A and B are shown apart, each in its own frame.
Chain A
Amino acid sequence: MFRKAENLILKLSPPLVAVAVLVSSLAVFMWVPTDKALGISQRIFYYHVPAASTCFAAFIGAGLASAIFLKTRNEQWDHAAHAAAGVGMVYATIVLITGSIWARTAWGTWWTWDARLTTFLILWLIYAVYLLLRAFSQGNEMGPRYAAVLAIAGAVNIPLVMMATRLWRTIHPKVINNPQGGIQDPRMIATLVLSMVALFTLFLWLWALRMRMLRLGDRVELLLADHYQSSQTFSRSNG
């Protein structure tokens, strides 16, 4: 099932991503009108917001895949979670960087302890530790399990982090549901949707690539171990 999904994504996504990224970039830079209040800098929002939503989806997906992995012990699910968290981290980094750039022009500072920026910093840290945990438990049979529990805890924690930081303080613009400012121009909405599609298909592509990498890496390790084991008179494991 995983091989099929992976192959399908790997076959379809390169042209899809190319078109989507091209069209959405054209829309963002040439077509969509400049926001009256925020000016040109508001265009970064078409990367910032889709990256953020994709990132949430990735982290929640990693949590779900981890739960299934624990239940089924099928390591394909572990690879799925690992890949989703890894690519999700790239997206979280994009969110933090674009947010920071935008904060500089809008609020005059690179960083503020605004609720959503803080949320993403925390998420970024949780999943950075997730990847670190995987690195530190390499060679340990239980490593993937530990990481899976962390991914589940991280996903469960997302709403709490969002709620806590929001109540704590916020100066982040509420763009989508805000009846006053916000985006109303249909071209803005269209551009946002386009960017969403572009960044999400890009995510899928990267995810499938990473999945394949993890699987092939596993296979290489296995072949190597077999090779060593059979070329030795006495084997050296702890059994």
Chain B
Amino acid sequence: MNGNETTAAVAVKACGVERRFSHMRVLRGLDLELERGRTLSIFGSNGAGKTTFLNILAGLLRPDRGSVELFGETLPGSAELRRRIGVVGHEAFVYGDMSAYENLEYYSRLYKVEKTGRVEAILDEVGLRAAAKRPARTYSRGMLQRLALARAVLHEPELLLLDEPFTGLDPVGARLLSTLIGGLHEQGVTIILTVHDFERGLEVADDVVVLHRGRVGWRSAQELPDTAQMSEIYESTVGA
């Protein structure tokens, strides 16, 4: 394998990323590398820097120091690079006064999705076809979360970032989300998600990291630990 292929196989490469908010150092030299097609779960206490790191990957924040490469392109990337990323945030990013269909239609124009029938197909995939004509404000939390996922993968991104996607979902909704994430993983999408629940996080992941005080505190080796081991590892890393 020559050098070029190595770079091409790497989806995310973060080197010494530092970031502060006003005067709070949130990230303090975070190093992380992730191969294409892998699913990475990030654990960490509140304030460990999980959301900040995802926001940097999404191009919403710039690091104060250090660099981030996505698919070999250094951030801040071009609009073309941003097109290859999909994001599910804490909020659904949809307009309540428009239906699911209209919301997706709007985003598909924003992302210049040319495939016909893509909106219908994705609505089927997340099981919202029947409710597609209803204004999004009438949706339940679970439906909104599915719509948010549909919105994020509408343009078939190569890198999907999910910030606490399981928060606020009932067990059925969470299982459905796990299945959808699994399906995207099968399609070769690189996925990074932040999770609080070890079981959920371990279920979908190939790799696991624990963020602590703005650095990678622990990273899984070849074998993933089980939930009980994970919880021990977490506690010894965070030192709680």
Q: Which residues of A contact B (CB under 8 A)?
A: 139-141, 218, 221-222, 224-226, 229, 233-239
Contacts and interface: CB of A to CB of B under 8 A. Distances in A.
B25 A226 contact: yes
Interface of B: 19-27, 45-53, 213-214, 240
Contacts of B22: 139-141, 221, 225
B47 A237 contact: yes
Contact of B214 (A141, A226, A239): A239
B23 A239 contact: no
24 contacts: A141-B22, A225-B23, A225-B25, A226-B25, A229-B24, A229-B25, A233-B240, A234-B45, A234-B240, A235-B24, A235-B213, A236-B47, A237-B24, A237-B26, A238-B21, A238-B51, A239-B24, A239-B26, A239-B27, A239-B48, A239-B51, A239-B52, A239-B53, A239-B214
A164 to B, nearest CB: 38
Contacts of A222: 20, 23
A239 B240 CA distance: 18
A236 B48 CA distance: 9
A221 B49 CA distance: 20
A239 B45 contact: no
Nearest to B62: A73
Contact of A234 (B24, B26, B46): B46
A237 B23 CA distance: 10
Contacts of A239: 19, 21, 24, 26-27, 47-53, 214
Nearest to B24: A237
Contacts of A235: 24, 47, 213
Nearest to B44: A239
B23 A141 contact: no
Contacts of B24: 225, 229, 235, 237, 239
B21 to A, nearest CB: 6
Given A234-B47, A237-B47, A239-B27, A141 B213 contact: no
Closest 6 pairs (CB-CB, A-B):
A239-B26, A225-B23, A239-B52, A235-B47, A237-B24, A221-B23
Contacts of B46: 234, 236
A22 to B, nearest CB: 42
Contacts of A236: 46-47
Nearest to A228: B24
A141 B25 contact: no
Given A139-B22, A239-B19, 11 more contacts: A141-B22, A225-B24, A225-B25, A226-B25, A229-B24, A234-B46, A234-B240, A235-B24, A236-B46, A236-B47, A237-B24
A237 B240 contact: no
A222 B23 CA distance: 5
A218 B53 CA distance: 24
Nearest to A139: B22
A222 B214 CA distance: 16
Given A235-B47, A239-B50, A239-B51, A224 B213 contact: no
A139 to B, nearest CB: 5
Nearest to B61: A141
B24 to A, nearest CB: 4
Contacts of B21: 141, 237-239
